[in-house]
Every structure is written in structure tokens, then in C-alpha cells.
A and B are shown apart, each in its own frame.
Chain A
Amino acid sequence: MARYIIRRLLLAVVTLWLVTAVVFFTTHILPGNVALRILGPFAQRSAIDSLNEELGMNRPVFTQYTDWIGGVLHGDLGTSLKYNQPVAKILFPALVYSLKLAALAFVLLVPLSILGGIVAALNRGKIADRIITIGGLSAAMVPEFVWAVILVLVFGIQFSLFPVTAIPKDGASVFGQIYPLILPAICLVLVLFGYVARITRAGVIEALDADYTRTAVLKGIPRQQVIRKHVLRNALLPTIAVIASQISYLVGGLVAVEIIFNYPGFGLALRTSVTYRDFPMLQASVLVVAAIIVLVQVLADIIFIILNPRIRQKVSN
């Protein structure tokens, strides 16, 4: 298994290297005058030309790439063209914000949606199943920014139960950090619940109908134990895959939610870097998101191996 994980990690490194090359070269073939974007449209032409020269934008793209990748390998993600500050200084606080929100959304989403899926599967065709599946899917159909607006209006403005900004106060306690994140996290849960619960429901139903479950029941194993040990272990595999696939969305794709809650997360930073062609920020952002996706996929694979003896056997062979 250790060899398998090492192989997956090496593959991850190759994937990340490919990502850096693709992102770097595609951003550099886009038309655009970098100095103009930094100095603004009304800057003097001589200043624009001089800055382009200083930034080395006139050098061959391959040289620029090797310089950049060399910096990345030494932990230097470059300097933001827009803010003239180290990219890491801007990007990592944004990443921490996004991870906090994603973590809270996860803490709420994973047990709720798995529980919902199990309850729906165990009550297949009954009212509870209908409520969970139809309700969950209906909630998922509504875009997250609409949920955000509704939650802000109802719980933020009308009843004043939660703040409408998600940024915690300086020096806030753990609760003080979590409290302002509840509304945006609920918003994400509403969007993702139906999807994850439905996959869980399908997995549980399939496992309930499987021969090994029937055998376990016929052996007289208590129902709770059958569900916990035999059904869930197999039923959760697709659920884990689905949850893992949502990581990139939760970290870098929440632009609308971040705007509505004025939350300076990774999605906003990524959007700004695209809009203003802040190449170092954009390259670093994509690299970070790619690294997170790759790592989560590796983690998901490891969980698969732990949960499913058949996969474990296959890997060992």
C-alpha cells in the first residue's frame, strides 16, 4: 500500500508540473499589456514601456517560465502585479478564509447528507424518502447566490440573528470565528445536500440489495450492525468520491457567496487575478487549487483502500 501511495504522490507531482506549464503558457499567450494593467489606463506611455522592461515582460516566455518555476520550488510564488506585494502574503490568508468556510460547510454537510441519504434509502418510497430526495434536489436547483440573498435577508436583516458579513472580528474566540460563517456555510449545505444525499441513498439501496447484506441478515446479525458494518462500508464509496469532487468548488468556486457575504476568500482572489491579468497571482492560485484537488484525490483513494477490502487486495497484488 505504501508503494501505491508513493506512486500516486509521484503522479500528483507530474500532474502539478503539467498544470504549471499549461497555466503559465496560456496566460502568457493572452493579449494584454502587463504594465498598463499595473499603472492603469491613464498612465503615461513612457512609464508603461519602462515598467514592462523592468518586469522582464520582453524576455522569452520560456525564460520567464523557468524563472517562475525556480522561484516556486524555492517557496517564492512571485509578486502580485496589482498590489506589488508577495503573492503568498495575499493568497494564503484568502486560502485560510476559504478553508475555514469549506471546513464548516463540510462539518455540517457530510453527516447531514449521509444521514439523509441513509434515512431515505431505509424508507424507500415512503414520505421521508420523498421529502429528502425532492427537497434536497429542489434546494440544489437554486443557485448558491440566491440562497445567500435569501439567508441574508431573512436571518441577517429581518431577524438579525446572524451578521451579514462573514469576516470574524479581530481576536474573536472559536465561536466568534464560526458564528459569522454559519449563513454562508448553510448556503453551501443547501446547494450540496441533495446531491450528496442522493448518491448516498443510491449506494445504500444497492448495498441493501446485495447478496452479502442478505447473507448477513439471514445469519441473524442485528439490523444496526448490518447497516454499519456491511451496508455503509460499501455504500459510502461513491459518496466519498462525490464529496472529494466538490473540494475545488468549495475552495475556489464560491465567488458569488464570497461577494454577497463580503468574504475575502480564495474564489475572489482568483477572480480578481483573472480580471486584472495579475499573472503571478493567477498562476499561484491555479497551482494551489490544483494541489488541493490532487491531494484530496489521493486522500480519497486512501480512504477507498481502507474501506474496501477488494480494492485493498487489488492494490496489494
Chain B
Amino acid sequence: MSKANEELTSPPARTGYSRRDFIRAASIVGIGIPLVGLAACSSDSNSSDTTAVDTTPSTEPSVAVTLLRVGMNKPLQEVGPYTTADQGGLGILGNAGEYLCFSNNSFELEPRVAESWAANSDSTVWTFKIRQGITFHNGQALDAEDVVQTFLKHLDEANKSQAAGALSGILQAAGVKKVDDYTVEFTLDAPTGGFPFIVSSDTYNLIILPRDWTSNWTSDFIGCGPWIMESYSVEEGVTFKRNPNYWDPTRQPAFETMECTFFTSGASSVTQLLAGELDAVTFVDPTAATSLPTDQFTLQIANTITHLQVHLGCDAGVFKDKRVRQAAALTLDRPAIIDGLLQGYGDLGNDSPMAPAYATTDQSVEQRVKDIAKAKELMADAGVADGFDVTLESFKRDDIDLLGQVIQSSFKEIGINVTLNITEGFGYYDQAWLNSELGITDYGHRGIPNVYLNRAYKSTGDWNAAHYKSPAFDAAADKFMTSADFAVQQEASKEIQEILLEDTPIITPYFANTITPVSNKLVGFRTTGMGHFDAAGAVII
């Protein structure tokens, strides 16, 4: 069970700044610095407990605070509806823009631009009713034509939209039709039960745009979301002012201004939070987060499907035999990995993308646990009792570095000698991702598992790094993705989970929680597993 689900109690409030506080702060600012490490070794401090809280504002603000200060990840690409492909960028899109519907942390959809939606009997035609009374930041009224044009723009290959991949094989331009001024109909290429999730904030590029919008979104961040861009610098941050014409009366921004500062280091954002220069930091790593004093800060924890996939080449090489793949997966001590790498903030992975947090996941499927004896037996059966050498490919990031080291030491227990080739930047995706026997790939959160199933596991998947081909799996995945019926999806999910546990093309050790530290004075600030943050309902008390 993740810490997100535990009930924890805050310690009594303290005043002043103790030695323990100093060491705790040092561990945030200077993680990995021996000097601080030595100091910490001699201290009596324990990691502070954290509090998972209800973020609904329950108290009226005592003093009107007009400025909200948020620390967020620096966007790694040009911010825009076509180009954004990272957490920093989507955080901006989600505040200035508005989606048809919003995928929340309960794995439910909240109606936004669309007030309702319905499918025909086989989920091939979806009809969305568009909300009336919404205006864009430039005063232009939003209607069905804007929605249609938004989708046509993303489906136009010339625009190279990041959303095109999510819609590929599901929706073509000819399938998008305006029925009347406030109704849009999507006729799909194939039945898709989870279509509303695919056009929700899960596909974060799909904010609804004015019909005549062409390009250069960074000049004005045009949208119909609760925040209007006031200034933007690619290196420093973005300042928003509240949208006085925002359509939702329950989510009217309480702050006049929201100042979002970009960070390249989670540790320095937490330092600013600690110094009182920020009210919230959107996402931080567990080590920095758990070091914050609980009498001043609250950690908002969300179960997510964010995970690392360790692919094992199924079509050739050392992992071609599934017994070797199973053996490798049996070496990992998953609870220890979650405790060590994530400070407990994660859910167990069972070598499939059907995470425990999905309602459709069958919880009765046996959880894979570390079993070295069984792993050695499988290696002997496969004729590789003496082990072999293999290279693990990936790219530099703290969690990937650490998981790579864990895999190296775990695999060694059954004679698999792993050489780590973890490179800077995008070299991994450029060269090794789809051409390696063993690699680690990061996958972001999705409200439904369709993207993982369709692109990373299916025989036809363009992200199928394991080169996995299983007609049985393909059939089960199609059954899951085409149905809108919960019972059918649950049945298909069980089939998927069992097939993948047996075939083990990919090891999924865990699903990470997201951690958002906020000042105890700030309530109503929400983040999602995908990486959105929503300050529309937030107040400082």
C-alpha cells in the first residue's frame, strides 16, 4: 500500500529553527553532498511523516492575498498545443487552456468545455455536448466549430502535433463533425470505450483553441482557461492574471495573479518553499519532499500510473526465452525498491501496465515477488545457468540511474552481468530505445491504459521496445480498449495481466506517486498524475 493511502498524523507545531530543521534543510538543498551527509549521520533526525490531505478549501481566507507563487518544472520544449511534450509545458497549457473534459486523480472525468458525452451502442460514434457561455481570453465565444477546428488542426500531419499519436488509429479528420452549434460528433475508426479519456486532459495538447488560431501560442497563450498569460520568459517563468470571464462559478481564481517560477532542480524549488518564497511546488522528488517540516508544509500525494518500463527483447538475443525474462523479473525486490527509491511513495508493479490504481485492474492476479531459487531454476531450464552479459540502455535521470543500479545488482544474483549504458539527453530514444535487448523507458500517467497497450505492448505498437508479439495479448488488449462496459474491461484486464505476467516482455517494478508540497496556509491547490496543476479553487488562509 502506498503512503498516499495511509492515514498519517502531523506532529505538534513547533516554533523556531532547530538543529534538526537545519540538517533537514541541508538534506534538501545539498542532497548528495558529503559535508551535509556527515552532519546528518550524527543527527538524531528521522524522516518526517507527511500528510495526505483533502485539498478542498474549508476555511475562508482571513486576509485577501492576491498573489500565488508556484514553483514548477521548466518546460523542455516550446510551449504550445502542438509542441508540448513534458510536465512543465502541460502545466501551462492546463492553466491557460481548457479541455473537453479533465482527467482527475480519482481516475474520473470532470466535464469542462464538454458538459456531457455519450456513445452509440458499439462505441464507434461519440457525441459531445458543448457548454454554452464560454469565451476565449480574446473575448471570442466558443462553440462547436472551435472544437471541430481544434481537432482538425491536431489531425493535420503538417502541424506535427504531439496529440496525433494518441489519436492515431482511432480518429481521422473525416470523423470529426459539427452537428449543431453546441454538438460535436466523433466517428471513430474502431470501437473505443475510453474515447472521452483520450480527448481529455490526458492528451494534454488538446486544449480547445479559437477556430482561427494559427500558431505562435507563446505570444498570448490563448485559451479559455481560468488564467490569462501576463508575461512569459522561457528561462524564468510565467505570470498569469485571473480570467474574470471564466465560465465555471465553482472554480473562480481567488488570486489576482499567479506567478509560476521555472526550476531545473527540484531541490532548489523546495529550498525556496522552505524560505517562504513560494506557496507551492508542483512536483518534487520524494527525498526532498519528505525532508520538509510537516508543521509548515503539506504533501499532497496522488496515485499515478507514471512508471518505468524495463523492456526485455523478446524476438532475439539473451531474453528471447521467456523463462529468462521471468527469471530476471523474479530477482527484483519490489517493496524494497519502492521504499528505497521512492521513500514509500509508489504502488507495486506486476509487470503489466494494469496498475493497482485502475478500477478495472483485477486485484486477484498473483503479485510477482522476489524468488531467487525459482529464478535460478528457470535460468537452468533455459540452458543459461551460468548467466550471461547484457547491456542496459537508458538516459540519465535520478530515478533511472537508481533503478539501473538496482537491476544490475539484482540480476547479478542469477548470473546476469549488466553493463549500464545510461547516456545524457535524448541519445537513448534516438539510438537504443527500440533496438536494445534491455532498456528503461519512462512512461507518464494516463487515466486509462490504452496508450500503453496500443503502442508499447501490441504487436503493431510503434513504441514496442520489447518487440513483443502475442496474438493472445493483442486480442485481450483489443477487447479491453473497444469495450465501454466495466465488467468486460475488468475481464479483459485480468487476461492482459495474466498473459503479461507469463510472457514478461516488460518488467514494471512500480508506479510512482506524485508529491506536491504546499504551504499549510494554501488550500484547494490540486495537481494530477499527468502533471497538471489547478489553482483555480485555491486560497491562502
Task: Give A contacts to B, CB under 8 Å.
Answer: 31-33, 36-47, 50-51, 82-85, 90, 93-94, 145-146, 149, 152-153, 156-158, 160, 163-165, 167, 259-262, 264, 268-269, 272, 275-277
Q: How many B residues, CB 8 Å from partner?
A: 50
Contact indicator A84/B78 (Cβ below 8 Å): yes
Once bound together, how far apart are the Cα atoms of A43 and B275, in whole Å? 39
Check A149 against B33 for contact (C-beta < 8 Å).
yes
- 8 residue pairs of the A-B complex, CB under 8 angstroms, read A40-B85, A43-B160, A50-B157, A85-B234, A90-B235, A93-B235, A164-B268, A262-B272
- Judged by a CB distance under 8 angstroms, whether B250 is at the interface is no
A146 to B26, CA, bound (A): 11
The answer to whether B78 and A47 have CB atoms under 8 Å apart is: no
12 more CB-based (< 8 A) A-B contacts, given A158-B22, A264-B233: A39-B85, A40-B85, A50-B157, A93-B235, A153-B25, A157-B271, A164-B274, A164-B277, A260-B265, A262-B263, A275-B424, A276-B76
Bound Cα distance A37, B160 (Å)? 14
Q: How far is the CB of A250 from chain B (nearest CB, A)?
A: 19
Query: Residue of A at shortest CB range from B235?
Result: A264
- B268 & A32 in contact (Cβ 8 Å cutoff): no
B35 interface contact, C-beta 8 A: yes
Q: For B29, give the chain A residue with the smallest CB separation.
A: A149
Main secondary structure of the interface of A (DSSP, over half): helix
Q: Bound complex: CA of A31 vs CA of B262, how far in Å?
A: 30
- Residue ID in chain B nearest A40 by CB atoms: B85
The answer on a CB contact under 8 Å between B426 and A276 is: yes
Contact string against A for B residues 258-302, beta-carbon threshold 8 Å, 1 for contact and 0 otherwise: 000111110111011011110000000000000000000000000
Using Cβ atoms and an 8 Å threshold, which residues of chain B touch A165? 261, 268, 272, 277
| CB-based contact B35/A146 at 8 Å | yes
- Residues of B close to A36: CB separation below 8 A: 426, 429-430
From B157, B233, B262, B429, contact of A41 by CB (8 A): B429
Q: What's the least CB distance linking B293 to chain A, in Å?
A: 11
Segment 399-428 of B: residues with Cβ below 8 Å from A? 424-427
Q: Find A40's partner among B162, B261, B272 (CB 8 Å cutoff).
A: B162
- Given contacts A43-B85, A43-B160, A153-B22, whether A90 and B165 have CB atoms under 8 Å apart is no
Q: How far is the CB of B366 from chain A (nearest CB, A)?
A: 32
Nearest CB of B to A258, in Å: 9
Bound together, the chains give a CA A236 to CA B22 distance in angstroms of: 42
Query: Is B86 interfacial (CB-CB < 8 Å)?
Result: yes
| CB atoms of B275 and A156 under 8 A apart | yes
Task: Answer whether residue B236 sits at the interface, using C-beta atoms and an 8 A cutoff.
Answer: yes
Nearest-Cβ distance from residue B329 to partner chain A, whole angstroms: 24
Question: A93-B233, A93-B235, A158-B17 in contact; A152/B164 too (CB < 8 A)?
Answer: no
